[in-house]
Amino acid sequence: MELHKLLIGGKWVDGSRVRDNINPSDVTEVVGRFTEGGAGEIDAAVAAAGEAAPAWAASGPQQRFDVLDFIGSEILARKQELGLLLAREEGKTLPEAVGEVGRAGQIFKFYAGEALRLRGERIPSTRPGVMVEVTREPLGVVGMITPWNFPIAIPAWKIAPALAFGNTVVLKPAELTPACAWALADIIHRSDLPPGVFNMVNGAGSEAGAALVQHRDVAGISFTGSVETGRGIAAACIGRMAKFQLEMGGKNPLIVLDDADLDTAVACAVNGAFFSTGQRCTASSRLIVTEGIHDRFVNAVSEKIASLVVGDAVASDTQIGPAVDGRQLEKNLAYMDIGRKEGAELVRGGERVTCEKDGFYMSPALFVNTRNDMRINREEIFGPIATVLKAADLEEAMALANDTPFGLSAGICTTSLSAAEHFKANARAGMVMVNLPTAGVDYHVPFGGTKASSYGSREQGSHAAEFYTTVKTAYQLA
């Protein structure tokens, strides 16, 4: 089987270890073999990115547009093939995986346009005869550390703005999903991007990741992953005064009010809580339901999840794929025990499922009669497990929704305009949804949260310039 290497300075190079990438839908299938690097390879990649930085910072918008447009076009043209690869390595169903690849392609296209739209300001000074200019400059070498759950879209939404705004890049992708990262690196490598502008080093977080974060020549770190890892990265970056942005976990509430359209509410809850096997930072893991609709809602969600087909990510009838690996599956099952012990009532699901192929399958689970201080309501599980919390009215529902250490996404299902407006104004989350699932966002607008979910400036849309550029104010005597 072909060994996929690291991309450093425009060349494919060996690392120090090899990792087999296993299909979570069928543990007998090796999706690919990947070289992993450590501190030495990170050092070489940062050196290559540093060497390439001045010329890329001076490149014009047309050159950047052409490169990003090429990358986006190839991703879009190959979205079925790349979607199949993503489904095989991560376990997302094929339509979800193809959708994610499509999004990655659109992101590159969007930032191709952003490269042309970079603007500065020329402002009269308060001092007569002086002119002031405010411009944006690239940071230099930017390090990116990404998780496994969106293995092509998240690297895309970091790499594309970084390149558009003139930075050079070292990407350290998640250990569990090297294939999508490699496929993306291969496309970037075949574009007209000068060697060294983009580099990719697969490897362990504690080695390659830590080396990247601590490297004194890396001007900024963009991280997506768990809160625990993010906290360590923040401390390391502050220690050497590097810029950083963190996108982390969620425990996202979906409020369902008595006046909600039941079908809409059930569709939002089932999509938000269980699709992508609940492995989304924006998953609706807490369903907060007012008393008048509670029983009808719980029965309808329970019936719906009983009909969901759990199985091989690439099978045409599958609606819920496997957990990404054995560790995540064990974690999900452990939270099932925690929920039962805490006194939550299981409506259905939460069991291992045996399929034709040996994979990490479990049935979607719904707990009711839960309290917001239970661990299953406070900690991110990252599996197909949702809880229901009963609320007397909108006020109590809002208080429960906001009573969480996280603040990424929040939703409400209601037919009341005033309830929707009140929710949008008072939900303490970075993204709020009305009659839509908490998961599922556009690629041309900001993405991010509050509290422990996010730190630093927003990703995506034109707001990404906040992180990937630094502002310079120039004064000149006219």
281, 380, 413, 459: the active-site residue = 281
Instruction: Let me know if 167 is exposed, middle or buried by CB neighbors in 10 A (0-12, 13-18, 19+).
Output: buried
Looking at the Cβ atoms of 100 and 380, the one nearer to ligand NAD is 380
Considering only the stretches 223-231, 291-299, 338-346, 419-427, report the one whose residues sit in contact with ligand NAD under the rule CB under 6 A: 223-231
Number of H helices, E strands in the chain: 15, 23
Q: How far is the CB of 95 from ligand NAD (least distance, A)?
A: 19
d(CA 380, CA 236) in angstroms, rounded, equals 24
Q: Compute the distance between CA of residue 46 and CA of residue 77 in angstroms, rounded to an integer.
A: 31
| Contacting residue, 72, 102, 147, 359, with ligand NAD by CB under 6 A | 147
Interface stretch with ligand NAD, choices 64-72, 203-211, 289-297, 299-307 (CB under 6 A): 203-211
Residue type, 76: L
Least CB distance from residue 221 to ligand NAD, whole Å?
9
Tell me, yes or no, if 281 is annotated catalytic.
Answer: yes
Distance CA 378, CA 250 (A): 10
Residue 247's H or E segment, with its range, is strand 243-247
Q: Does 248 bind ligand NAD (CB under 6 A)?
A: yes
Catalytic residue check, 247: yes
Collapsing DSSP states into helix, strand and coil, what is residue 383? Answer: coil
Cβ neighbors of 81 (< 8 A, separation 6 or more) are: none
**With binding defined as CB under 6 A, does residue 404 bind ligand NAD?**
no
Q: Which is nearer to ligand NAD, 46 or 265 (CB)?
A: 46
Catalytic residue among 247, 268, 380, 459: 247
- Whose tokens are 């819920």? That residue is 320
Nearest distance in Å: CB 447, ligand NAD: 6
Query: Three-state DSSP class for 323?
Result: coil
φ, ψ of residue 272 in degrees (nearest 5):
-65, -35
Rounded CA separation 176/21 (Å): 7
* Number of Cα atoms under 13 Å in the Cβ half of residue 348: 13
**Site membership for ligand NAD, residue 149 (CB under 6 A):** yes
By C-beta, is 209 or 339 nearer to ligand NAD? 209
Q: Does 146 bind ligand NAD (CB under 6 A)?
A: yes
Rank residues 368 and 433 by Cβ distance to ligand NAD and give the closer one. Answer: 433
Helix (H, G, I), strand (E, B) or coil at 167: coil
Q: Which residue is nearest to ligand NAD (CB)?
A: 205
Q: Which is nearer to ligand NAD, 44 or 324 (CB)?
A: 324
Q: Which residue in 249, 253, 364, 437 binds ligand NAD (CB under 6 A)?
A: 249
Residue type (1 letter), 74:
E
Residues 275-304 that bind ligand NAD (CB under 6 A): 281
Q: Which residues bind ligand NAD (CB under 6 A)?
A: 145-150, 172, 174-175, 205-206, 209-210, 213, 224-226, 229, 232-233, 247-250, 281, 380, 382, 408, 453
Catalytically active residues, by annotation: 247, 281
